[in-house]
Every structure is written in C-alpha cells, then in structure tokens.
Structure 1
Amino acid sequence: MEVSSEKSPVKRNGYLKNNVPKEIKTVCLNWADNITAIDISNQNITYFDDNMSLPPKLETLNLSRNNMQTIPDILLDHRHLKELDISFNNIEFFDDTPEFCNTIERLNLANNSLRGPPCWVWSEAPANLHYLNLSNNFRITESFKNGYYEELLTYATQVRHIAISNCKLGLFINLLSTFPKAEFIEAGTTKSSFASNFIENVPGKGLEKCCDIERLCLSNTKLYNVMPNIDIYKKLREIDLSMNNIRDLPREFCNLEKLEICVLSDNNLLYLPESFDKLVELKFLYLAHNELCMLPDELKSLPKLQLLDLYNNNLYEIHNELWEIPALDVAQNYFDEPEDKKYLDSKIELRSHREFSDRTNGRKHEIIRSESEHSPDTSDDDLLDTVHSDDEDTKSQLAPSTSDEEDWDSAEYWEPHPTRRSGPAPSPWLHFIHQKMAEGNFCPMDLHTVPVIEQVRYEQMCNPKVKYFVEGQFDDITDDDS
C-alpha cells in the first residue's frame, strides 16, 4: 500500500496553516472581557466585520502581516489601546484621530503603503506616545505639497524613539526637526534600498534640533560630512554611521565624551582625530572596510575599549598595547596576523558579535605604486640619458605625437588647444595630503609649530623672485600704416 508523502495541514490557533494562511472571518472572533492582549498577525485579514467587537480592557493589539488597506472604525473607536502593531499591511492613510490618542505608547506602521504620515501624531501630540515606526513607507512624502509639509514643521511631537528609515525623505529631511525630544533616531539601516534617506551632513537639516539624542543610526544614508558641531549631542552613547562616504572626522567628534559604541565601518576613512583619547567611555569601535593608513597614538589610551575592528584597512602596523584588547580583528591589512592563541581567541570573540560570514583571514595583497601617480617611474638621470640617446624609438616615446607636420609659422599652431589630462586619477591618500595642506599642515604625521606652508610663504616674502626686463624687437601685429 502506497503511503502519501504530502504533509497534513498544521493547525495553529485553530486556523489552517499551510504556508499561506487562510482568511478568517473576524465576525467569528469573540473574546472575554478581561483580555488585555490579542495577537492576530499573519492571518490574511483584509477588513474587520461591522459586528465584531474588541474587549473593553484591550491594551495590546498585533495586526501585522495582514492585507488591510484601511484602519477599521472599530479600532479607531477603542479608547484604552497602548500598543498597536499594524506593520506589513497595505494601509495608505491614517489621518483620523483615534480614541486611543491619549493612551497609545507604541505605534508601528512600518512596511505599509502610507502616502503621508499620520497627521494626528503631529497635530494632537499624544503625550504618552514614545515609540513611532514609519520605516519602509516609500510613498510617505507624496502628500508633502500645497503647504502640508510646511504645516507639519510647525509642530513638535513627544516621540522619543523614531524609526523612519527607507522613506525617501531626501529634500524633506527637515521633518526630523519635529522630534526635538527624540532619544533614539533610526533614519538609516544596513539593508540597501532604493528608498534610503539622503542625508549629506550630520548634524544637518532637522538633526540639529534634536540635541537630546542618545542613539543615532544613519547607516546607508549616503552621508558625506561629519560637521564640527557634532558635539551638540552631549548625551550621545551610540552612533552608527556605517556604509557611507565619510573620509574624515572633525576633531570635535572627540568631544562626545559619553560615547560607548561607535560604528564607522564601510566608509572611506583615511585617519582618525588625534584627540581620540578623550572618548573615555568608548567600549566598542568598528572600523572595518575603510582606508586607514595610520592610527593615532591616543587610541591605545582608551581605558574601557573592549572591541576594536580593523578588518580590511591599509595599516602596516598597530601599537603593541592594542594587542591586549579582548576582541580584536586585524585581518586583511598589510602585515601578518599573529598566530598565538590569545589573538585568535580575541578575533573569534569579535566576530561573534555581528554577521561576519564573508570575512577571510590573513594578510592583504599589497599593490605597489610609484612614488608619484602623476609622474613616470624614471629618474631625472634616466630622462637625461634618454634625451641624449640616439635611439629614435626611445625619443619618440617622450615626444608629443602629431599626425601632421608641425607648422610653426601658422597662427593656428600658437593658439591654445584643450588637452585631455593623462595619468591615473589621484588616490585617496593624495586627497588626504591636499586636504592637510589646505589646513596648513604639509605633513600630517609631523606636528609643526609653524605650518610648513606658512614657512614657505615667509621665505617667498623675504626672497622674492627677481624679474628681468629685456629690451628687444618683438613681433608687432599692428598695421605699419596705423
């Protein structure tokens, strides 16, 4: 007798669960009056029947992962709701003020189709609402026209934890200014999305109004600049600026003396501020996937540092004191990893904190470059020998190539022509050198009392170039009869 291999339907909460949930009739749902929490998530609910009722003492309701397109009236009329999770539905609007406006504490509207934020959160400013999740609502800015956005900016909410990543805020990033009491702002996420928020500077528009932040996540927001006024966040304990385009940090970043967790992975950092030892509370420092060529000596002086992630940088060495950190990863740099058990244990300890499935051990393959990326590898003597050489092929490599015979007498020959710049693009290290020169320090590793550029200017002032005036006959393009 053949035995069927098909699995029988699995019953869960009295409803059939066969990968796809069966739609239930809400009119059949009856609860005792003393129930305070209900979870009917992932039940393929599209609407609430008019004859359905909710327990009068209900405080927590989970309606996530259904197919609802509107907020049911029976829900708007409930007075005592404190927590509402209605994420992963198809809701477009939530503008009507609910009866639970004064009692709601946590509201999750993530992963819907909101075409505008719930305006009652701004206009009514619910006193008890401390958590609001609007993330992954790609169309939420569609209603920001005809003065509606400007009206929202006039309000100040009471929300202390706002999650608003992947909402395509872009030009509307100033909406964050309506959360002046926020302690935790999630405007970014490590998951890439076409709808990620574009935040060029931090603190930038909106964020400069949120001075009470303790946790700030701006991961994957195309961030370029960390501004010198970053130290307005006196209470900041955790910051995540990973997966952005940051090249350097201002020295004011080290004024965040309460900072405990600092995530700067997947950026273009070339160096760290020298006053890093001021971050006396720092415990976890993530610097993987950057372009660090050196580390400040002050880094070894951090008293509470427990984790240091230096994976995949351009370091040639680290300070001996850093080997004592309990969790450390220095793989994929330009020096050999130690093989002692103490370091291997510390690397295992670090990699257990996050997802590091794609990491490899060992030393990074070094790419040897010339001293100058704008000049050839040949020396001055080699060039001189080449000029005096009889080898026509060698000379032709240095001479400019022309397709036609030169005509020095033609006027066209002496007219300037645009030429394409040759050679490779400048490296990030040269960009760093140019930036340091603009700041007045020719060499970032030397602490000059007087910047070198000022010394050069002084020498030029004391010894100006001598100008020579030569009398002679020159070409005159004027008419002889004039």
Structure 2
Amino acid sequence: MFANTKSLLSVVKAVVVVVVSITVLLGEAKTAEGGACLPPNDIEPCTCKEKNKGPSIICENASEEAILNSLAVLKKRSSVIYRLMFRSCDFQRVHDYFFLGLDVEHLTMSRSNISVVEESSLRTLAGTLQTLDLSYNNLHTVPTAALEHLQSLSFLNLNYNQIKILGQSAFSGLRGLERLSLYDNQMVHIEENAFSGTGDKLFRLNLGKNHLENIPNLQTLSKLQVLTLSENRISRVRVGDFKGLKKLDMLMLENNNIRALEANAFSELSALNSLNIKHNDISNISELAFAGLEDNLEWLELGHNRLDHIPSHALRTLQNLRQLDLDSNRIDNVPEDAFEGYGGNIKFMMLSRNNINYIPHMTFFDLHSLEWLKLSHNDLTALTEETVLPILDTLTMIDVSHNPLTCSCELMWLRSWLQDFTERETYKSFAQHNCFTENGHTKDVMGLSAKELGCPEYSKDDGACHYLAPNLAAATVVLAVLM
C-alpha cells in the first residue's frame, strides 16, 4: 500500500513538472511574440527596437501618408506597443480613430506641426495609454475633448506650444494624471477651475516660462508636491496665493519680477521644504515673510536679487534651514549677529558675488554644522583665523577666491588648508587663491612661505611652513571654482 502511494505521488509530481514547464514555455513564447519587432522594410520609414516591456517604434521625418502605411502594418498585430514616437513628421491634424487597432502605452507626437487633435483621435487608446507627449507643436488650446477619455494617463507633456488660456475644466477626465507640464507656452490667464476634474493624484505641475502676471488659483490641487512658476512675469506674492496647497514640498519662482516678500506670503505652505526665488528684483523681505515655514523649510535660494543686507530677522525662525543661497546680491555689510540663532542644521552658506568687505570675528559662532562656505568675488582684504575658528571643525569646502586679500600672517590658516587639501587629493578643481603684496604684486597664497607672509614664528621644514590649526588633520577642504 505504502509503495503504491509513493509511486502515485511520483507520477503526480512528474505531471505537475511537465504542466508547469509547458505553461512557462507557452508564456515565454507569447512574450517573445509580443515583444518582437516586424522586419524593417515592413514598417519603413519607421524603425523598431525590442525592449523588455515591448517594442519601441520611432517614426522620424516622415509624411502623413508614410506614417499611415506603417500604422496599417502594425495594426495587423495584436501585441501592445510599449513606446510609439513621431518626431519631426508632417501632419497638422491627428484625425479621429487615428490609432484604431493599436494598443500603445507611451505615445510621443512632437515637432510635427500639430495644431488640431480631433475629439476621437485618442479614444481607442483609453485603456492602455500611460504617457502622452505633444510638445513642440502648434496647439493654441488644450485638446480637452480628445484627452477626457484617457483615465489611465499619468503624464501629459504640452511644452513648447502656443496655448494662451487654460479654460474651465481643461483637463477634465484625466483622473489618473500625476504629472502635467505646460512649459514655454504663451499663457496669460488660468481659470480658477481649470484643473477641476483631474482627480487627486496630480503631484507635479510645471507652468514655467509663460506670461503669467499673477499666481493662479490652484487650490483644487490638494496633493500637489512640486510647482514650477519660474520665468513668468509675476511681480507679487500675496497672502492666500497658495491656499489649499498643504502638501507642496518644492516651489520654484525664479526669474520673475518679484520686488518684495510680504508678511505671511507663504503661510499656507506648511509642508514646504524647498523655496527658489532666485533671479528676481527683491530688495525688501518682511520679518514675517517666511511665517508658517519654520518647521520644514530646508533649502532657500535668494541669489541674484537686490538685497543690500542679510535678512536675519526673517531667517532666524527657520530652525531647520540647511542651505541659504544669497549669491549675487548687493550685500556689503555682515553684522556680527547676522547668523545668530539660526539653529544647528545649516550646512551650506552661499555669499559669493556680493560687496562684502569685512566679516566680524564672531559672525560664524552659532553655525555649528556649517560644511560649505562660499565667499568668492567679494571685497574682502582679510579673513582671519579667529573668524573661521568656530567652523573649522565642520567645514569641508570653503572658497574665498577672487577677493583683494592682503598677503599677511592672517592668511596662514588658509595657506595651510590649501596645502593640506592638495596633499590628500589627486585632482585640483579649486580656484587659485591670490593675495596682494604691499607693492601691488599678485601672489598665490599656497605658494608663499611663512617669511613671505610675515610669520617667522611658525616652524619651517625645507622652506615650507606647517600651520598647527586645531583638528586640521581631520578636516577636508574642497575649494570649488565659482565662475
């Protein structure tokens, strides 16, 4: 009895193995058939490459007639096309049922002079289409009717078109949309409910390089995390402009015409982590400009503005700030308490290309975590060891190049750091640090001896002086070229 049972089990196992093997082989055969490309001559002028997820087909510099012939061949197959791309082709209109008989996951129709996308042109792709790229065309409006059936679409690219207005419910029906880009159009107005009907998945929106003069009403986009409004004509950020954007993590407002930051301008953005307001005309920042951002803001870019002082009172509340960019402003004075109370998290400080001529000894006293300090292209004639001593243990990069530094014993710490870096690193990517002698000659700081710097009291070893700075052996200094 036991022997018979054991024999039966062996037979069952063998059958299972055979069935599984056949199933796997059939699956592999089906996958191979679905992923295989047709002969090049059959779909000319299009080309096909086999990808793991299916065929990727590209049609370039082709007429509409040639494209239709290629599509007719492709429609005879039942496999899903992973990517179908039309680039620099010639068809101004995407006709109704253009893709009937095809299953496409990622569709690109760019640089093809398209001005009209007919209502039913994309309807047959509703079940499979995940991304759609219509960039570099001549669309003057969003083809709302053609898009509304694409409930599986996650990414829509309408960059580089001629769209001027986003009307009501322009993207209605796109319930699965996660990313939307309208960069470099001609938008002057966005209706309040332009994005209604898009569902609650949209997390990234690019409205950069348009003609917007005000921040549009986006309060229906409650899940938005990244918002780009750069390269517009926005001149003011008002209280309530960001109402409803409780999840926003990154806001880009660079290259606009903003002149001042008013109190509570960003108070609705309690989750904001990164704020970029570079390349504006900001000369005044309210003490309460960053109210509401105290707990989460880590990256703040205020470079290339018109600030003539460090806005210490406005910044002091940002206890989690990690990077502060104040490059290319008009700052000439750094008070001793400029960074007092900034918290222990700030790691990157950018103050290059200003008019700073002096930094008091206690200026960096509270910056216990500072790793990068950029002070190039200023008017500093000296930067003493006493000034940098509070941050020597944490600094991994410092740049004071392109300053009119005076060759003196006060630069011994800098010379030693430069030498220490070159001894341990095999490349030189930092700017040369020069100083000026009493007779006006320019000298490379790293090449000067202790005697030439007026420091005979330091030890000498074959003409080279070794500055005994605290914890120098444990520090790494990288001096980057800032052009």
TM-score by length of 1: 0.59
Shift of 1:116: 1.0
Give 1:456's aligned residue: none
Q: Which of 90, 93, 104 is the matching residue for 1:23?
A: 90
Q: Given that residues 274 and 296 in structure 1 are in contact (C-alpha distance below 8 angstroms), is that contact kept between their aligned partners in structure 2?
A: no
Cα gap change, 1:320/1:260 in structure 2, threshold over 3 Å: closer, same or farther?
A: closer
Q: Deviations over 1:135-166 (max 9, x none)?
A: 1111x34xx8xxxx9xx769564233211123
What amino acid is aligned across from residue 331 of structure 1 in structure 2? S
Q: Given that residues 165 and 189 in structure 2 are in contact (C-alpha distance below 8 angstroms), is that contact kept between their aligned partners in structure 1?
A: yes
* Alignment coverage as a number of residue pairs: 335
Q: Which of 58, 70, 82 is the matching residue for 2:129?
A: 58
Cα gap change, 1:51/1:183 in structure 2, threshold over 3 Å: closer, same or farther?
A: closer
The alignment status of 1:265 with 2:291, answered yes or no, reads no
The alignment status of 1:279 with 2:343, answered yes or no, reads yes
Q: Which of 142, 156, 164 is the matching residue for 1:71?
A: 142
Shift of 1:346: 11
Structure 1, unaligned runs of 5 or more: 1-8, 190-195, 353-358, 369-482
Shift of 1:14: 2.2
Shift of 1:300: 5.3
Give 1:200's aligned residue: 260
The separation in 1 between residues aligned to 2:315 and 2:437, in whole angstroms, is: 32
Shift of 1:202: 5.0
The separation in 2 between residues aligned to 1:71 and 1:160, in whole angstroms, is: 23
Larger proportion of strand: 2
The alignment status of 1:41 with 2:110, answered yes or no, reads yes
Give 1:135's aligned residue: 208
Shift of 1:68: 1.5
The alignment status of 1:307 with 2:378, answered yes or no, reads no
Alignment of structure 1 residues 93-132 onto 2, 5 Å: 93-97=165-169, 98-121=171-194, 126-132=199-205
SS in 1 for 2:165: coil
The alignment status of 1:187 with 2:253, answered yes or no, reads yes
Give 1:239's aligned residue: 300
Give 1:253's aligned residue: 315
Cα gap change, 1:75/1:10 in structure 2, threshold over 3 Å: closer, same or farther?
A: closer
Q: Deviations over 1:196-217 (max 9, x none)?
A: 232412545x423333321111
What amino acid is aligned across from residue 224 of structure 1 in structure 2? S
Cα gap change, 1:284/1:29 in structure 2, threshold over 3 Å: closer, same or farther?
A: farther
The separation in 1 between residues aligned to 2:277 and 2:241, in whole angstroms, is: 12
Shift of 1:58: 1.5
Give 1:211's aligned residue: 270
Give 1:82's aligned residue: 154
What amino acid is aligned across from residue 301 of structure 2 in structure 1? D
The separation in 2 between residues aligned to 1:82 and 1:296, in whole angstroms, is: 54
Larger proportion of helix: 1
What amino acid is aligned across from residue 181 of structure 2 in structure 1? N
Q: Given that residues 185 and 209 in structure 2 are in contact (C-alpha distance below 8 angstroms), is that contact kept between their aligned partners in structure 1?
A: yes
The separation in 1 between residues aligned to 2:184 and 2:334, in whole angstroms, is: 38
What amino acid is aligned across from residue 304 of structure 1 in structure 2? S
Which segment is superposed worse, 257-266 or 54-63?
Answer: 54-63
SS in 2 for 1:178: coil
Shift of 1:69: 1.5
Shift of 1:250: 2.3
What amino acid is aligned across from residue 341 of structure 1 in structure 2? Q
SS in 2 for 1:74: helix
**Percentage identity across aligned positions?**
16
Shift of 1:360: 7.2
SS in 1 for 2:316: helix
Q: Deviations over 1:32-62 (max 9, x none)?
A: 7653322333333222245633522212212
Give 1:328's aligned residue: 398
Shift of 1:174: 5.2
SS in 2 for 1:197: coil
Q: Given that residues 236 and 256 in structure 1 are in contact (C-alpha distance below 8 angstroms), is that contact kept between their aligned partners in structure 2?
A: yes
TM-score by length of 2: 0.59
Q: Given that residues 329 and 350 in structure 1 are in contact (C-alpha distance below 8 angstroms), is that contact kept between their aligned partners in structure 2?
A: no
Cα gap change, 1:187/1:49 in structure 2, threshold over 3 Å: closer, same or farther?
A: same
Q: Given that residues 153 and 175 in structure 1 are in contact (C-alpha distance below 8 angstroms), is that contact kept between their aligned partners in structure 2?
A: no
Q: Which of 289, 306, 314 is the matching residue for 2:353?
A: 289
Q: Which of 329, 333, 341 is the matching residue for 2:419?
A: 341
Structure 2, unaligned runs of 5 or more: 1-44, 48-56, 63-86, 441-483
The separation in 1 between residues aligned to 2:392 and 2:328, in whole angstroms, is: 23
